Structure 1
Amino acid sequence: MLDNALRKAAAVWIRPDGHEPRLVWALWRDGTLLVAVGGTEQEVPGLADDVTCTVTVRSPTTHSHLVDASATARLTEPDDDTAAALRAARLNSEPRWESVYRLEFA
């Protein structure tokens, strides 16, 4: 269920341990959820390497709760293909991020 929900979701709620949930855009790619932060992108207080997060996915049509999942954030340096996919997924023309996190699900 998590895989299907994340394939369809353009945005998810992320709650790093000890912080409030934050609605963020994210990209589901190759079995992991990628979140770009900083620069011209969103801020997610508490998101850092090796931090446990709760990811909540809601239905894109009804906005009802679909699933909660625990994930660990891993700071990553996206390869060229992944960086291009992150840029293509954004609505703004020149996304610039400081960091990209890969959320790995337990």
Structure 2
Amino acid sequence: MEITRVLDAALRKAAAVWITAPGHEPRLVHAHWRDDALWVITGGTEPQVPGLSDQAQVTVTVRSPSTHSHLVDAPATARLTEPDEETAQALRTARLNTEPEWEAVYRLELGA
């Protein structure tokens, strides 16, 4: 599907996305694209995302990595998860200038 290729290309370069849970304002969060899903960490030193919970249906807004203009809004299902060590290290590395501490890790499955 074309939108999947567009999302894959954009999310491989995106460092942040907007997440909107029903009844809440969009929240800008750092995200990491891995294993065909968007990984988001919340709490601790990372922003909270009101309304984000296990099984929540959310909207992910992606901006173009080159022009920063709106690219697409994609539906996603949030899955509260415990990342394996490799994924946890990738989440730490993706934050570049800071050592993140988090309370929760969500795997957002796009189109779900």
Unaligned runs of 5+ in 2: 1-5
**Which residue does the alignment assign to 1:31?**
36
**Which residue does the alignment assign to 1:84?**
89
Distance 1:21 1:68 in 2: 12
Q: Of the candidates 26, 29, 36, which is equivalent to residue 21 of structure 1?
A: 26
Distance 1:19 1:48 in 2: 13
TM-score by length of 1: 0.94
Instruction: Give 1:62 shift.
Output: 1.9
Structure 1 segments, 4+ long, off by >6 Å, are none
- Over the residues paired in the alignment, what is the CA RMSD in angstroms? 1.1
Unaligned runs of 5+ in 1: none
Q: Percent identity?
A: 72
- Alignment of 1:7 with 2:12, yes or no, is yes
TM-score by length of 2: 0.89
The number of equivalent residue pairs is: 106
Conservation of the 8 A alpha-carbon contact between 2:21 and 2:57: yes
